[in-house]
Amino acid sequence: MALSSARSPSNDWVHHCFKIIIIGDYKVGKTSLLCRYTGHQYHAPSSTISVDFRAKSLERNGKRIKLQIWDIAGQERFRTAVASYYRGAVGVILVYDVTNRESFHNIGYWHEEMRKCCDPHAKGILVGNRCHLSQLREVQAEEGKTLADHLQLPFFETSTEKNINITECFDELVDSINEQIERGRQIRELTTLVLPASGQEERTVEACSCRLL
């Protein structure tokens, strides 16, 4: 969901409304990441809850943006039920726990789910959570960066407890979505240009003098 020039529930004008989902194994800190970013107090959820939702408004590069952020349950028993929540997402945060190597190994599964269920142009980011627990660490930062490079995703290590890189990772994702929208706009504008008739050597387009060879 990347709606342009929309109105938020408070009737404030926004340039874009982005749907973002947070995916990863159970108990890697997805809900605490969501709550920390949106300024809500974290309460341990019941095991029967399959999704959580928060909204946040912000401004990036002169654009007013509303985020609809969905925390998707990682338990196996919920995976079929929550698949529909992937639809319309333009941003995906893939989370593992640096103290749990199995959650790191399972990122391949979550990345495949992202590619299978989300828009083909959805942007992603890889997050290694709980980086403050250095004594319990099972996944080194270099391993996370190598995997992110392989998946062609930006990479952050975060700590919701210590508030490390929480805002930064969301900003990175939002900026990449914005950049993609801007590139699409520029491409659409270029495709509407009409080339000059044969024999005309110059044509001014958006204050640029373009010489045809």
Give phi and psi for 151, each to the nearest 5.
-85, -5
Predicted confidence at residue 182, as pLDDT, reads: 85
Distance of CA 88 to the CA centre of its chain: 12
Residue 88: DSSP 8-state: T
Domain layout of the chain by residue ranges: 16-183
Q: Give me Rg for the CA atoms of the chain.
A: 20
Q: Which two tokens stand for residue 58?
A: 């912000």
Give the model confidence (pLDDT) of 137-186 as tens digits: 999 999 999 999 999 999 999 999 999 999 999 999 999 999 998 887 76
Distance between CA atoms of residues 144 and 157, nearest Å: 8
Q: What is the mean pLDDT of the chain?
A: 83
* b/e per residue 76-115 (b: at least 16 CB within 10 A): eebeeebeebbebbbbbbbbbbbbbeebbebbeebbebbe
Higher pLDDT, 84 or 67: 67
- Helices 30-38 and 166-191 meet at what angle, rounded to 10? 80
Higher pLDDT, 199 or 100: 100
In which residue are the tokens 């107090």 written? 41
| Neighbouring C-beta atoms of residue 18, cutoff 10 Å | 23
Give the model confidence (pLDDT) of 10-32 as tens digits: 456 888 999 999 999 999 999 99
Question: pTM higher than 0.75, yes or no?
Answer: yes
Predicted confidence at residue 8, as pLDDT, reads: 46
CATH of domain 16-183: 3.40.50.300
Residues in the chain: 213
Distance between CA atoms of residues 208 and 87, nearest Å: 40
Give the model confidence (pLDDT) of 160-174 as tens digits: 999 999 999 999 999
Give the model confidence (pLDDT) of 196-209 as tens digits: 555 554 444 444 44
